[in-house]
Amino acid sequence: MERRDFLLTGCRACVALAAIPALAALESCGSAKAITAEPAPGSNLLNIPLSDLAEQNAVRVNTKELGSDLLVVKEADGSYKALLLKCTHKGGPLKQEGQVLHCSWHGSEFDLEGKVTNGPATSPLKTFPATVVDGQVQVNLG
């Protein structure tokens, strides 16, 4: 092996090794994990175990009750809220990309408070109150 080839191979190996921690750090910027939950028959309360929010500050909840997913978010003060992941512009589904909720239909973006950060949407996301009861986050679907 010539010196040049040796140096190139060594540099590539170092770059690859340096990228591993960076990729792990990006994982925390990704989407929330998803769970499925439905309210009990005759109830409008959706229960999500606190353990599902232990590793991340948000969890995506698949529920047939609303026709769209929810994102349950832990606030800085320790309280919780739920956002309907349905764009207020034309009803497109929203995808979490780090701290942004993005609609692929027309490009609207919302923050994790539900506020519009980029149009064409002009109205904030529908939110649902959530409280902690007996180790569960209870979302009141009203």
Enter the pTM of the model: 0.70
Q: What residue numbers bound the domain in which 3 lies?
A: 1-29
pLDDT digits (tens, 9 = 90+) for 19-60: 554 433 333 344 567 777 787 788 888 888 888 877 788 889
CB 52 within 8 A of CB 59: yes
Q: Looking at the structure, do residues 20 and 40 belong to the same domain, yes or no?
A: no
Domain total for the chain? 2
Q: Looking at the structure, do residues 10 and 67 belong to the same domain, yes or no?
A: no
Query: For residue 105, is it left (φ>0), alpha (ψ between -120 and 50) or beta?
Result: alpha
Q: Looking at the structure, do residues 121 and 99 belong to the same domain, yes or no?
A: yes
CA distance 100 to 30: 10
